[in-house]
């Protein structure tokens, strides 16, 4: 297990198309997070899961964004009817429990870069 993996690494799509990104966290990491990062900005929190439960989704950018983690392992982030403003790097991160307590350290993937034409 070499870390958090994301697929695809790059996606170019036309405005109005739907896109889906996949994230495979580090094995046995119970929490999984999605962030968006645009050029020159810090990561922007979107949503997170604890196991299969989505515990925070109010910060998803619009109802065009949705995320799932059906079996508590990998997760998908879908953007419907993409807009040019959705162009960004979408980062996934995971974290684990240490002595039954989440330490807070996030392990990020390398991201999926979306370009909407």
Partner 1 sequence: GENVEQHPSTLSVQEGDSAVIKCTYSDSASNYFPWYKQELGKRPQLIIDIRSNVGEKKDQRIAVTLNKTAKHFSLHITETQPEDSAVYFCAASRPNSGYALNFGKGTSLLVTP
Residues in touch with partner 1 (CB under 8 A): 4, 31, 33, 40-45, 48, 50, 55-56, 59, 91, 95, 102, 104-106, 108-111
44 or 68: whose CB is closer to partner 1?
A: 44
By the 10 Å C-beta count (0-12 exposed, 13-18 middle, 19+ buried), 86 is classed as buried
25 or 43: whose CB is closer to partner 1?
A: 43
41 or 115: whose CB is closer to partner 1?
A: 41
For residue 17, is the peptide bond before it cis, meaning its omega torsion is within 30 degrees of 0?
no
DSSP 26: P
Taking the complex as a whole, the smallest distance from the CB of residue 14 to partner 1 amounts, in Å, to 26
Taking the complex as a whole, the smallest distance from the CB of residue 88 to partner 1 amounts, in Å, to 14
> What does each C-alpha distance from 55 to 12, 31, 75, 78, 88 come to in angstroms?
30, 10, 14, 17, 24
Taking the complex as a whole, the smallest distance from the CB of residue 68 to partner 1 amounts, in Å, to 17
């Amino acid at each position: 297990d070499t870390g958090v993996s994301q697929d695809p690494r790059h996606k170019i799509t036309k405005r109005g198309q739907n896109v889906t990104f996949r994230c495979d966290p580090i094995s046995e990491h119970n929490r999984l997070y999605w962030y968006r990062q645009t050029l020159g900005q810090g990561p922007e929190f979107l949503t997170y899961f604890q196991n299969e439960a989505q515990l925070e989704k109010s910060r998803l950018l619009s109802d065009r964004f949705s995320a799932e983690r059906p079996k508590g392992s990998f997760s998908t982030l879908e953007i419907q009817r993409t807009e040019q403003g959705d162009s960004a790097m979408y980062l996934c991160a995971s974290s684990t429990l240490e002595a039954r307590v989440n330490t807070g350290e996030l392990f990020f993937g390398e991201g999926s870069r979306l370009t909407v034409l």
